[in-house]
A and B are shown apart, each in its own frame.
Chain A
């Protein structure tokens, strides 16, 4: 199995993602420059966090037009796996690979802190090693993480069990007080209908070592690796 981490101008969590795949998942991984278009040798892609194109226009809006993104769309359509973290989630929404949009946090602040998220479903290639209901402690670091979508989209996400992570308190209660940014329905992460594309605002790649305050993020990458191992 081979992973690729896409590097846009302004990505800044690319090395963290690379580190986690090479050290904790123990699999080969390449950086992929946003001008590259050949993704044929990869099984899974990570769109990392950061500030692609300086967040100009809207977060993720300009990265969508990078040459690599056409290939990412075809990659996703072929059923291979795409994980968008933070700015990567914003890019996937702008590119139409995931529904909805991420707007300015309810309280305007850039929020950088550990939060709790509840795994809402183990029925995804990214959470199949986790029990649904598990509470993970993972950091967020964003100013535009307030997930919004229209009523029909929300109903569809709920009906199809595509809300993968919700913000919660440490006991797993999904409450308004535990919602850091105003996201609709406490949504922290969603997947597409085919379940092979996941976007989430929290940073699991920053929560893979106890030294950094939490290693809860590892299970997400382990799930993906287990999915790939099973498919091989």
Chain B
């Protein structure tokens, strides 16, 4: 059982890294890009002792309290069995 957590800067929060990446890929000739936002991705392996609902609640709490800073970031959790 695995939890996947995606953490992204909230829209409106400046992402200079995303901007630099966009600039670089455009220099390399990739076109048609309107924006790049860089985020974080966590894979958390679970030992199977929790059912899906409890695992989701537990990982959501982890994402809210540790993996993201709610002032600047949003998160999304997926549980994969």
Contact = CB atoms under 8 A, between A and B. Distances in A.
Interface residues of B, number: 12
A93 B72 CA distance: 12
Interface size class of A (residues with CB under 8 A): 20 to 34
Contacts of A150: 71
A58 to B, nearest CB: 6
Nearest to A64: B66
A146 B14 CA distance: 10
Interface in A42-78: 57-58, 61, 65
Contact of A108 (B17, B66, B67, B71): B17
A182 B14 contact: yes
Interface of B: 9, 13-17, 20, 66-67, 69, 71-72
Contacts of B13: 103, 148
Interface of A: 57-58, 61, 65, 93-94, 99-101, 103-108, 146, 148-150, 182
A108 B16 contact: yes
Contacts of A103: 9, 13-14, 72
A94 B69 contact: yes
Contact of B69 (A65, A101, A107): A101
A104 B69 contact: no
Contacts of A104: 15-17
A127 to B, nearest CB: 26
A101 B17 contact: no
Nearest to B19: A108
**Sorted from nearest, which 4 A-B pairs have the closest CB atoms?**
A101-B71, A101-B72, A108-B16, A104-B16
B80 to A, nearest CB: 22
Nearest to B9: A103
Given A94-B69, A149-B71, A106 B14 contact: yes
A108 B66 CA distance: 24
A57 B40 CA distance: 9
Nearest to A102: B72
Contacts of B67: 57
B5 to A, nearest CB: 12
Most buried by B among A58, A100, A149, A150: A58
Contacts of A105: 16
B57 to A, nearest CB: 20
B15 to A, nearest CB: 8
17 contacts: A57-B66, A57-B67, A58-B69, A65-B66, A94-B69, A100-B71, A101-B69, A101-B71, A103-B9, A103-B13, A103-B14, A104-B16, A108-B16, A108-B17, A146-B14, A149-B71, A182-B14
Nearest to A184: B14
A148 B9 CA distance: 12
Given A65-B66, A103-B13, A104-B15, 6 more contacts: A57-B66, A58-B69, A101-B71, A106-B16, A107-B16, A108-B16
